[in-house]
Structure 1
């Protein structure tokens, strides 16, 4: 069983792993010949495998979310 320090360390790795998986999925999708939709500078953009970009629509800028933690007693 993991101790509290080990569990905290593993939980800290989740954002790094999620970012890596997202980037990998982005590039794999383009490499397979499919298009990808991204949000950038208040716009929804379609990115094609050849690198061309097409603005689909204007969207709201992202809002900042405050990270919160909840400890569940054992």
Structure 2
């Protein structure tokens, strides 16, 4: 019984190694969820890419919907508030 408990106990180094993998695992899960949703619904996504609004299909094809005007530069960490 004690050998089973010691096998399941992680050392500090072991936990750090596993924790370093979390961002990659989260990104992979996000991409898989995106692809699964597109496959199940047959839908497309709309996103911005290189200053344009594009419609992207599951097969990877992109259709430009609109070109965007050059935006205002904002410093990292700036908090934007909606005006009422």
TM bucket by the smaller chain? 0.5 to 0.7
CA RMSD of aligned residues (A): 3.3
Based on CA coordinates, which of the two structures has the bigger radius of gyration? 2
Greater RCO (CA < 8 Å, at least 6 residues apart)? 1
Q: Which has the higher helix share?
A: 2
TM-score by length of 1: 0.53
TM-score by length of 2: 0.49
Which ranges of structure 2 fall in alignment gaps of 5 or more residues?
A: 1-8, 78-84
Deviations 1:6-40 (A, max 9, x none): 11111111111112112212222222202223343
The one of 57, 60, 66 aligned to 1:48? 57
Aligned residues: 64
